[in-house]
Amino acid sequence: MRPLPAPPVAPFAHRLLSDDLPDLADDRREAAVAFVERRVATLPSVMRLGVSVLAVVFRAILALPGGWRIARAVLALPLPFVPEYPRLVRSLAYAYVWETWPTTSPTGAAR
Amino acid sequence: MSGALPAGVQVLDDTTVETDVLVIGSGAGGATTASVLAAAGIDVVIAEEGDWVEQGSVVPFSLDQMDRQYRAGGVTVALGFPSIAYTEGRCAGGGTEVNSGLYWRPPGELLERWRHDFRISDFAPDDLLAIADEVEQAINVRTVPAGHSAQSEVLRSGAARLGWRHGEVPRWMTYPHGDDPARGERQSMTRTYLPRALASGARLLTRCRIDRLVMDGGRAVEARTTLDDGRSGRIRFREVIVCAGAIHTPALLQRSGIKGHIGRTLAVHPTVKLAARFPDAINVPDDVPVHQVKEFTPHLSFGGSASNPGLVALSLLDNWASFRRAVTDWPRMSVYYAAITSEGTGRVVSLPGMRDPLVTYRLTARDKALLGSGLARLALLMLEGGAEEVFPSFKGAPSVTSRRDVGTLSRSFSASRASVMTVHLCGTVPMGEVTERCGADSFGRVHGCTNVRVNDASLLPTAPGVNPQASVMMFAIRNARHLVDQRSSHVR
């Protein structure tokens, strides 16, 4: 039972956090994304496999011109489990940001 | 790991270990089992996948605690529509180290129903409740010595105004600092039953994941392990008792090729949450309220959750665009839940080549409706408890500031858009003599096996409607004593 490789979530997580929390400082966003990567790397096997597939697909989409617009359109489709991907990334990142820097503003600005 | 380990505890380093009885898991089931067996003079090894983490070395409910004491950092999900997030302890002491420490005896009528419906032998409720008396003394079950937190008071006062039944739930705690309720010490397994087991000669091996049991017909002959450095190891035993929790106990049995009613009837208490904002500071980041509202039991109950700033942000996430304005008010906010007794069931399936099992859960239409009505009633409870604004955790939820908004909430709720979670997992190897519905016999021996037993939450035939750990400890002690008696009569 060899562990699966860590899902490549960083490009999507960066883009999502830039959109959600536009005033979050770069170093904080880096730290939050690194936390998301660490946690996703320890997901149980089946979840990790599912997240890996989604992460690879969205990484490919983000590499296209207008990739974020396409990604948002895909996320809006009524596909099973796809909305769980941004929810997972947000859950981890928001928990990290507000536990680490509790006075962060709703847009991500340091206070 | 935190500093020196207690005597009798060591990180697994040997490729071959021998023992009379191997207990897999050190939580509420494993620790009590090992304590009973070791006190009877039986040679016991406890295999624990996680580390021994000294209480007080991590902040309760923090991300650090999730890293060190939860399985997969607390990110585990039963897939379904909606999926249900759940958490499991993965450390010495298991779930007792990380949960709220609230203690509920199972209702007598529930024990009677289990006995009848699953044909459990020698299962007199009075005998079980006598064991509960012992457990309560051993883990010091008691109420808070002085005033309650403001978070708890919201539940009490809101329920009182509505005329709803409510009460303080006792916890396994001591209060050594002048009865200061904020400085209680949790009497989890690392403080109670594990030290007892170790003092009686049991050995606890940490970082010891059991990959599978090697079977010879209906008999297990050894357990295969993987050490930290990648070496393979084995533990030889006469008997093995699996106490790895309601997900990993059936998964291990399945990986070992054991068939039967294993992993088919996962039972949970699904919960939905909301965050409520009050006029004054209320947040306690590292503790939970001790009051619960039981007006609608056994179907529905209300209580409070961990509410550090990260968890408050999490509870606003489903409607971030409209709710995010509240996140900086976290000192005046707290998170509460509505839990239901579900009629749905789940499955745990070990897949070839996968280290962890696939877990699924299916809510019934009644469950989904109950979650919606539960959340609406919880919002009403919050308003009556003094909340100025309530933020339900489902996509498209309205914020609630008046009774009229509660109606809007109720109409707009959809379980498939809600963040549903649970912490109570059970029922995956139900015990009893109805072999088509039970994975283990009346004392936890796996049907079809001679020396493989289960002794944890997996044995509970259904979700009990209350925190299951009292039931787990009672059953585990009962079953371990039965094994001791069996062995004694064999020797005589």
Which of B422, B438, B463 lies at the terminal end of a domain, its last residue? B422
Give the C-alpha separation, B85 to B267, whole Å. 14
Q: Which residues of chain B have a CB within 8 Å of the CB of A99?
A: 62-63, 308-311
Mutate: best of B90, B327, B349, B421, partner A, most A CBs <10 A: B327
Partner residue opposite B328 with nearest CB, options A20, A49, A106: A106
Check if the beta carbon of residue B244 is closer than 8 Å to that of residue B456: yes
A107 located within any domain = no
Report how far residue A35's alpha carbon sits from residue B337's, in angstroms, rounded to the nearest whole number: 27
Find the CATH number of the domain harbouring B111.
Answer: 3.50.50.60
B398, B422, B446 - which closes a domain: B422
* pLDDT, mean of residues B223-239: 92
| Short-list A53, A43, A79, CA closest to B85 | A43
pLDDT band for B61, please (50, 70, 90 cuts): very high
The kind and range of the H/E element at A91 are: helix A84-100
Residues B450 and B219 sit within 8 Å (Cβ to Cβ):
yes
Clarify whether B424 is annotated catalytic.
yes
Amino acid at B39: A
What are the C-alpha distances in Å from B368 to residues B18, B50, B80, B373? 49, 35, 12, 9
* Catalytic position from the list B424, B447, B482, B490: B424
- Contact at 8 Å (CB) between B379 and B390? yes
Token output for B97: 């180290």
Q: What is the mean pLDDT of residues B377-386?
A: 98
Q: What is the count of residue pairs from A and B with beta carbons less than 8 Å apart?
A: 88
| pLDDT value at B351 more than 70 | yes
Domain shared by B394 and B464, yes or no: no
| Single-letter code of the amino acid located at B379 | A
Q: What is the mean pLDDT of residues B79-90?
A: 95
Residues of A in contact with B356 (CB under 8 A): 44-46
Instruction: Provide the domain limits for residue B476.
Output: 9-53+93-139+189-261+428-491
Task: Tell whether B227 is covered by a domain.
Answer: yes
Interatomic CA distance for residues B168 and B171, integer angstroms? 9
Is residue B428 a contact partner of residue B249, using CB atoms and an 8 Å limit? yes
Confidence at residue B148, expressed as pLDDT on a 0 to 100 scale: 86
Residue B260 scores a pLDDT above 60: yes
Using 50, 70 and 90 to split pLDDT, how confident is the model at B145? confident
If one counts every other C-beta atom within 10 angstroms of the C-beta of residue A59, the result is: 17
Report the DSSP pairing between strands B389-392 and B271-277: antiparallel
Is residue B233 in a domain?
Answer: yes
Residue A51: domain span: 10-100
CB of B179 closer than 8 Å to CB of B145: yes
**pLDDT at residue B228 in the model:** 77
Beta bridge partners of B234: B16, B224
Could you tell me if B284 and B244 lie in one domain?
no
Which of A42, A46, A106 shows the shortest C-beta gap to B354? A46
Task: Answer whether residue B59 is part of any domain.
Answer: no
Residues B133 and B244 in one domain: yes
How much is the pLDDT for B177?
79
A→B contacts (Cβ < 8 Å), by residue, are: 1, 3, 20, 35, 38-40, 42-47, 49, 80-81, 84, 87-88, 90-92, 94-100, 102-106, 111
A110 inside domain: no
pLDDT tens by residue, B19-45: 999 999 999 999 999 999 999 999 999
DSSP state of B261: S
**What's the mean per-residue pLDDT of chain B?**
95
Question: Cα separation of A109 and A23, whole Å?
Answer: 5
* 8 Å CB contact of A44 and B76: yes
**Alpha carbons B242 and B229: distance in angstroms, whole number:** 24
Average pLDDT along chain A: 94
Q: Give B76's contacts in chain A (Cβ within 8 Å).
A: 44, 47
Helix (H, G, I), strand (E, B) or coil at B361: strand
Least confident of B65-79, B174-188, B228-242, B452-466: B174-188
For Cα atoms B389, B276, A33, give the angle at the middle one, nearest 5 degrees.
115
Among the partner residues A38, A95, A111, nearest to B310 by beta-carbon distance: A95
How many domains is chain B partitioned into structurally? 2
pLDDT of residue A63: 97
pLDDT per position as a tens digit, B90-111: 999 999 999 989 999 999 999 9
B396 and B468 co-located in one domain: no
Confidence of residue B309 (pLDDT cuts 50, 70, 90): very high
Distance of CA B228 to the CA centre of its chain: 27
Cβ within 8 Å, pair B328-A44 = no
Q: Examine the domain organization and report whether B31 and B124 are in the same domain.
A: yes
Total structural domains within chain A:
1
- Cβ-proximal residues to B208 (8 Å cutoff; 6+ apart), any chain: B12, B47, B48, B49, B225
- Residue A4 pLDDT exceeds 70: no
pLDDT value at residue B116: 97
Q: Among residues B366, B367, B349, which one has the least CA distance to residue B358? A: B349
Taking the CA atoms of residue B157, residue B163, residue B165 and residue B169 in that order, the dihedral angle to the nearest 10 degrees is 10
Which DSSP category does B301 fall into?
A: E
Is B58 in contact with B93 (CB distance < 8 Å)? no
Amino acid B1: pLDDT:
47
pLDDT in tens, B386-398: 999 999 999 999 9
Q: DSSP secondary-structure letter at B5?
A: P
In angstroms, rounded to a whole number, what is the distance separating the alpha carbons of residues B418 and A41?
Answer: 25
* Per-residue pLDDT at B190: 97
Strand B239-242 relative to strand B267-268, pairing: unpaired
Domain identity same for B246 and B342: no
Mutate to test the interface with A, among B64, B75, B335 (most CBs of A within 10 A): B75
B107 within some domain: yes
Question: What are B215's two structure tokens?
Answer: 């079977």
- Cα–Cα nearest to B451, from B219, B226, B135: B219
Residue B388 token pair: 């100025």
Q: Please tell me whether residues B167 and B200 are part of one structural domain.
A: no
B164 and B125 within one domain: no
Query: Which of B375, B400, B422 finishes a domain?
Result: B422
B463 membership: H or E segment, kind and range: none
- Confirm if B472 and B457 have CB atoms less than 8 A apart: yes
Q: What is the Cα–Cα distance from B378 to B289, expressed in whole angstroms?
A: 15
A1 pLDDT tier (thresholds 50, 70, 90)? low
Question: What was the pLDDT predicted at B491?
Answer: 66
Both B256 and B282 in one domain: the answer is no
Q: Which residue has the higher pLDDT, B294 or B3?
A: B294
Report which of A67, A64, A43 is spatially closest to residue A53, judged by C-alpha positions: A43
pLDDT of residue B2: 46
pLDDT tens figures, B156-182: 999 999 999 999 999 999 988 777 777
Is B83 domain-assigned? no
B156 and B174 in a common domain: yes
Task: Quickly state the pLDDT bin for B259 (edges 50, 70, 90).
Answer: very high
Token look-up 């949970």 returns B268
The per-residue pLDDT for B178 is 73
Q: B395-442, pLDDT tens digit by residue?
A: 999 999 999 999 999 999 999 999 999 989 999 999 999 999 999 999
Mean pLDDT computed over B60-68: 96
Q: Determine the residue type at B430.
A: P
Find the helix packing angle between B365-384 and B403-412, rounded to 10°.
160
What is the predicted pLDDT for the residue at A2?
56
User: What average pLDDT does range B40-57 have in this prediction?
Assistant: 96
Q: Is residue A5 part of a domain?
A: no
Q: State residue B3's pLDDT score.
A: 63
Residue bearing tokens 């904002």: B277
Beta-carbon separation of B313 and A94 below 8 A = yes
CB contact under 8 Å between B77 and A47, yes or no, is yes
Q: How far is residue B128's CA from residue B203's CA, in Å, rounded to a whole number?
A: 28
Is A108 inside a domain boundary?
no
Distance from CA of B88 to the nearest CA of A (A): 12
Q: What is the pLDDT of residues B198-208, one digit of tens each?
A: 999 999 999 99
* Per-residue pLDDT, B490: 73
Mean pLDDT, rounded, for A66-81: 93
Q: Is residue A111 part of a domain?
A: no
Best of B356, B420, B421 to disrupt the A interface (most A CBs within 10 Å) is B356
**Whole-angstrom Cα distance, residue B204 to residue B317?**
41
B345, B487: one domain: no
Taking the C-alpha atoms of residue A105 and residue B250, their distance in angstroms, rounded to an integer, is 45
Return d(Cα B292, Cα B322) in angstroms, integer.
29
Beta carbons of A46 and B356 less than 8 Å apart? yes
Q: The complex's ipTM? A: 0.94
Residue A102 to residue A91: CA distance in whole angstroms: 15
Distances (CA, A) of B84 to A64, B244, B303, B371: 33, 20, 18, 13
Tokens of B92: 């010495």
Residues of A in contact with B414 (CB under 8 A): none
In this complex, which of B71, B77, B309 lies closest to A98 when CB atoms are compared? B309
Q: How many CB atoms lie within 10 A of CB B133?
A: 12
Task: Give B356: exposed, middle or buried? Use CB within 10 Å, 0-12, 13-18, 19+.
Answer: buried
Q: Where are the alpha helices (DSSP H) in B182-326?
A: 193-199, 245-255, 309-316, 320-323
